[in-house]
A and B are shown apart, each in its own frame.
Chain A
Amino acid sequence: MPGAAALPHPGLIAAGFLAALIMAALAGLSSAGGTATLMPSPYLWGVVRGAAWQAALSTALSLLLGTALALALTRRASFPGRRLLMAVITAATVAPTIVIIFGLIAMFGRSAPLPALAASLGLTVPAIYGLHGIVLAHVVMNAPLVARVLMAAFAATPAEQARLGQMLRFSPLDCLRHLDGPVIRREWPGLAAFIFLLCFTSFAVVLSLGGGPANATLEVAIYQALKLDVDFARAASIALLQILLSLAFVLAFSAIGARLPDAPGQTRGQPRPDAGSRPLFWLDGAVITGAMLLIAPVVLSVLSGLGQLLSLLGADVARAALTSALLAAIAAGLAVLLALLLASAAEAAPLGRASPGRARLIDLAVLALLGLPPFALVTGLFVLLRGTGSLSGIGLVLVPLINALMALPFVYRLLAPPLRQSAERHGRLSASLGLSGLAHLRIVAWPVLRRPLMAALALGAALSMGDFGVIALFGGGDLITLPYLMAERMGAYRLAEAGAIALVLVATATALTFLADRA
Chain B
Amino acid sequence: MLELDALTVRYPDFTGCYALTVPRGALCAVIGPSGGGKTTMLHAIAGFEPVSGGALRFAGQNLLPLPPAGRPCSLLFQDHNLFPHLTAAQNVGLGLKPGLSLTAAERTAVEDALAAVDLADEATRLPGELSGGQRQRVALARALVMRRPLLLLDEPFGALDPGLRKAMISLTDRLRREHGLTVVMTIHTPADIAEAADLVVFVADGAVQHVAPPAALLRPGHSPALDAFMGV
Tell me if B98 and A166 are in contact (CB < 8 A): no
Asked whether, in the complex, the Cβ of A163 is within 8 Å of the Cβ of B86, the reply is no
State the CA gap A166–B79 with chains docked (Å).
17
Do A161 and B80 contact each other (CB < 8 Å), given the known contacts A169-B69, A178-B86, A182-B85?
A: yes
List A contacts of B12 (CB < 8 A): none
A163 to B84, CA, bound (A): 15
A160–B81 CA distance with the chains assembled, in angstroms: 7
Q: Is the CB of A166 within 8 A of B95?
A: no
Q: Is the CB of A168 within 8 A of B98?
A: yes
B46: Cβ under 8 A from any A Cβ: yes
Docked-complex contact B75 and A167, CB < 8 angstroms: yes
Residues B80 and A160 in contact, CB atoms below 8 Å apart: yes
Per the bound structure, the CA–CA distance linking A174 and B85 in Å amounts to: 13
Contacting A at CB under 8 A, from B74-118, are: 74-75, 77, 79-81, 83-86, 94-95, 98-99
Within 8 A of B (CB), among A140-165: 158, 160-161, 163-165
Query: Which one of A160, A168, A170 lies within 8 Å of B77 (CB-CB)?
Result: A160
B36 interface contact, C-beta 8 A: no
Interfacial chain A residues near B75, Cβ < 8 Å: 163, 167
Asked if B48 is at the interface (CB within 8 A of a chain A CB), the reply is: yes
CB-CB < 8 A to A169: which residues of B?
69, 98
On B, residues with C-beta under 8 Å from A are: 46-48, 67-69, 74-75, 77, 79-81, 83-86, 94-95, 98-99, 146
Contact A168 B83, CB 8 Å, known A160-B77, A174-B99, A178-B98: no
Residue A173 lies at the interface, judged by CB distance under 8 Å to chain B: yes
B68:A163 contact, CB within 8 angstroms: yes
Is the Cβ of B80 less than 8 Å from the Cβ of A166? no
Tell me whether B94 and A178 are in contact (CB under 8 A). Answer: yes
Report the nearest B residue to A157, measured CB to CB.
B80
Nearest Cβ distance between residue A240 and chain B, in whole angstroms?
Answer: 42
Contacts of A163 in B (CB 8 A): 46, 48, 68, 75, 77
A181 to B68, CA, bound (A): 23
Distance in angstroms between the alpha carbons of A220 and B55 in the assembled complex: 70
Within the complex, what minimum Cβ distance (angstroms) separates B12 from chain A?
Answer: 16
The chain B residue sitting closest to A165, CB to CB, is B98
Q: Which residue of B lies closest to A173 (CB)?
A: B99
Are B48 and A166 in touch, CB under 8 angstroms?
yes
Contact B79 A160 (CB under 8 A): yes
Given A166-B69, A171-B99, A178-B85, output 13 extra A-B contacts at Cβ < 8 Å.
A158-B80, A160-B80, A161-B80, A164-B81, A164-B83, A166-B67, A166-B68, A167-B75, A168-B69, A168-B95, A174-B99, A178-B98, A181-B85
- CB pair A171–B48 under 8 Å, yes or no, is no
Cα–Cα distance between A163 and B152 once the two chains are bound (Å): 14
Q: Does A271 contact B (CB under 8 A)?
A: yes
Contacting pair B79 A158 (CB below 8 A) = yes
Which residues of chain B are near A178, meaning CB under 8 Å? 83, 85-86, 94, 98
- Complex Cα gap A78–B74 (Å): 28
Q: With A and B bound together, what is the CA distance between A178 and B48 in angstroms?
A: 20
Known: A166-B48, A166-B68, A167-B69. A161 touches B95 (CB 8 A): no
Pairwise interchain contact A161-B68, C-beta atoms closer than 8 A: no
**A166→B94 CA distance, assembly (Å):** 12
In the complex the two chains form, what is the Cα distance from A167 to B94 in whole Å?
10
CA of A166 to CA of B95 in the docked complex: distance in angstroms? 12
**For the complex, what is the distance from the CA of A161 to the CA of B46, rounded to whole Å?**
14
| CA A76 to CA B75, docked complex, whole Å | 26
Tell me the complex Cα distance, A126–B69, Å.
Answer: 52
Whole-angstrom distance between the alpha carbons of A174 and B90 in the complex?
13
Residues of A within 8 A of B48 (CB): 163, 166, 271
- Name B95's closest neighbour in chain A (CB-CB): A168
A 174-191 contacts with B by CB, 8 A: 174, 178, 181-182
A158 to B77 Cα, complex, angstroms = 11
Bound together, the chains give a CA A63 to CA B98 distance in angstroms of 27
In the assembled complex, the CB of B69 is this many whole angstroms from the nearest CB of chain A, namely: 4
Which residues of chain A have C-beta atoms less than 8 A from B99's C-beta?
171, 173-174
For the complex of A and B, the 5 pairs showing the least CB-CB separation, nearest first, are A169-B69, A158-B80, A160-B80, A174-B98, A166-B68
B-chain residues with CB within 8 Å of residue A173 when the two chains form the complex: 99
Report whether A161 and B98 are in contact in the complex, using a CB–CB cutoff of 8 Å: no
List, in ascending order, chain A residues with CB within 8 A of B94's CB: 164, 168, 178
B69 and A161 within 8 A (CB): no
* CA A285 to CA B157, docked complex, whole Å: 43
In this complex, which of A167, A168, A178 has the most chain B Cβ atoms within 10 angstroms of its Cβ? A167
Interface pairs (20), CB distance under 8 Å: A158-B79, A160-B81, A161-B80, A163-B68, A163-B77, A164-B81, A164-B83, A166-B47, A166-B67, A166-B68, A167-B68, A167-B75, A168-B69, A168-B94, A169-B69, A169-B98, A174-B98, A174-B99, A178-B94, A271-B48
Of A166, A168, A171, most B-chain CB atoms within 10 Å:
A168
- Asked whether, in the complex, the Cβ of A171 is within 8 Å of the Cβ of B79, the reply is no
Distance in Å from the Cβ of B66 to the closest Cβ of chain A?
12
Q: Which residues of A contact B81 (CB under 8 A)?
A: 160, 164
Taken together as a complex, chains A and B put the C-alpha atoms of A178 and B99 apart, in Å, by: 10
Residue among B83, B98, B146 having the largest count of chain A Cβ atoms under 10 Å: B98
**Which of A158, A163, A164, A271 has the largest count of B CB atoms less than 10 A from its CB?**
A164
**Chain B: minimal CB distance from A58 (Å):** 29
Measured in the bound complex, the distance between the Cα atoms of B170 and A232 in whole Å is 79
A322 smallest CB distance to B (angstroms): 47
**Does A170 lie within 8 Å of B67, measured CB to CB?**
no
Q: Which residues of chain B are near A161, meaning CB under 8 Å?
A: 80, 83
